[in-house]
Structure 1
Amino acid sequence: MTLTLATFNINGIRARLPNLLAWLEREAPDIACLQELKANDEAFPIEAIREAGYEAVWHGQRAWNGVAILSKGEAPHERRRGLPGGAEDTHSRYLEAEAHGLIVGCLYLPNGNPQPGPKFDYKLAWFDRLNRYAKRLIKSDEPVVLAGDFNVVPTDEDIYNPASWRHDALLQPETRERYRKLLAQGWTDALRACFPEERIYTFWDYFRQHWPRNAGLRIDHLLLSRVLAERMTDAGVDRWVRGESKASDHAPAWVQLREEAGSKPRTATRRTSTRRRTKAR
């Protein structure tokens, strides 16, 4: 048996609830991390999500940010909301829970534009807080996933044309260096591990026909702790979601993991029986 964990920047959960429900029905991930809810806690559509077979924890914010963790068939147990060291930070950007035997950190890292400026400074400071906390997580030797929209293009191979985005906060040396330091702690970038030499994207903005031209970026990442990296069997991107009507500008990225021996038996999902690895095009 395998377990699938996915991350999806929904870009407005109320506006794109039909898209979310269609994806959950078709792909049936066991755990789904959502970002950019753009809704306060009271507006989170928990009843519709429960009807789809999921329980959830969420950390909303009116009109901006917001993160959630959905778990199929069992309720996730919240461990933390917000990173340490941010007593004055009111942004809803980090949520952590236990689900299906994993510790899941769902994050929406600041965009940082325009740079230079206070928004970029906030991005780097938030990234530093994430790295400090992530070091504690990986030292625990627990099965941990950090999943979400990291708003960083790790290398020039993760973007269709780096020259056209060279001044963007997502590609700045300071941003990329912090991502490299995060990986150096021992985390495995699941998509890059499965596609070491291929261009694979998770984001296509709404301008200049970027989606039809496959002019994309890889900014949504699934980072696995050492014990989970050993259990990885596959990873990919559900590109079809980006092509739907009124789609988010992101597509869900996912990783498939072997379940540990002796874990509670589950009913096989559609993904585990029909999944084919998504190749970059």
Structure 2
Amino acid sequence: MKIATWNVNSIKARLPNVLEWLKAADPDVALLQEVKTQEADFPALEIKALGYEIHVSGQKSYNGVALLSKHPVEDLAKGLPGDDADEQARYIEGTVKGVRIGCLYLPNGNPVDTEKYPYKLAWMARLRAHAAGLLASERPVVLGGDYNIIPEERDCYDPAAWIDDALFKLESRQAFRAIVHLGYTDAFRAIHPHRIAYSFWDYQAGRWPRDEGIRIDHLLLSPQAADRLRDADIDREPRGREKASDHTPVWCMLDS
């Protein structure tokens, strides 16, 4: 089963690119972030025509996540547990062929001297608690999405420039490691332990042509899913297209 994650930066603006990529990459499950639309306005007909079942947790103009699957989705849940007052559409989860799959869009957290950074860290604490609960089920789990976290210096073209950014601050990386250390495996890093590769390149300052990127989109696997991991990679091709998202897809392949 091929599972991919991609922050599309507006499904309506990127629809031709998304459709082209779905046809070419043919993932069984695609996790999309920043769809930036309400569920009723999601371009479902075009994507359903490719054989996907569609589930969306959206909001107008901001955030929004979607789970697309070529197989039936069971036990669908929307919203990250732990804060009933949180109205931001950042999490959706379902079971596909026995694998529990969560799609997440973790808060950016910048500027760090505003309420946005405490919200990011609180969201990550909720994610850790939920991730621990999923591990207790002892079934295959995949938590994929835009984590807005640069795990290590090698995941950034210029670590010094990002040292005080919410994506790379020590507290952010510690919170990410606390999730991984529960027993999760970074799919890309498991397959490519030494490779330098990125999943996001800013639109500004010619970052893409110079390959000045960061790796912030991740697929974390429970031990039961990691045991089935066959391959994983970052698909750079969509980032080079016209009207591209500033992110590019990341995927993993699990044996059945």
Partner of 2:188: 191
CA contact (8 A) 1:68 1:95 kept: yes
How many residue pairs match? The answer is 256
- Structure 1 residue 98 displacement after superposition: 1.2
CA contact (8 A) 1:69 1:76 kept: no
Match of 1:65 among 63, 66, 76: 63
- Tell me, yes or no, if structure 1 residue 256 matches structure 2 residue 249: no
Partner of 2:122: 125
Matched to 1:255, the amino acid is C
CA distance in 1, matches of 2:140, 2:43: 29
Deviations 1:137-187 (A, max 9, x none): 012111110000000000101101111122210001110001111011000
The root-mean-square deviation of aligned C-alpha atoms, in Å, is: 0.8
Partner of 1:219: 216
CA distance in 2, matches of 1:41, 1:166: 37
CA distance in 2, matches of 1:70, 1:134: 21
Match of 1:36 among 31, 34, 37: 34
CA distance in 2, matches of 1:228, 1:77: 18
- Tell me, yes or no, if structure 1 residue 77 matches structure 2 residue 74: yes
State TM-score, norm by structure 1: 0.90
Partner of 1:264: none
CA distance in 1, matches of 2:151, 2:91: 20
CA contact (8 A) 1:76 1:97 kept: yes
Partner of 2:144: 147
- Structure 1 residue 223 displacement after superposition: 0.4
- Structure 1 residue 48 displacement after superposition: 0.8
Q: Secondary structure at the match of 1:241?
A: helix
Superposed counterparts of 1:1-281, under 5 Å: 3-72=1-70, 74-259=71-256
Matched to 2:181, the amino acid is A
Moved over 3 A (4+): none
Q: Secondary structure at the match of 1:111?
A: coil
- Structure 1 residue 75 displacement after superposition: 3.2
Distance 1:186-1:47 versus aligned 2 partners, 3 A rule: same
- Structure 1 residue 56 displacement after superposition: 1.1
- Structure 1 residue 24 displacement after superposition: 0.3
CA distance in 1, matches of 2:44, 2:96: 17
Distance 1:119-1:66 versus aligned 2 partners, 3 A rule: same
Matched to 1:225, the amino acid is S
CA contact (8 A) 1:138 1:144 kept: yes
CA distance in 2, matches of 1:12, 1:77: 26
Q: Secondary structure at the match of 2:23?
A: helix
Q: Secondary structure at the match of 1:141?
A: coil
Identity between Structure 1 and Structure 2 (%): 48
- Structure 1 residue 78 displacement after superposition: 4.3
Deviations 1:197-256 (A, max 9, x none): 111111001011110111010000000010110111110011001001100000000001
Which range moved further: 101-110 or 76-85? 76-85
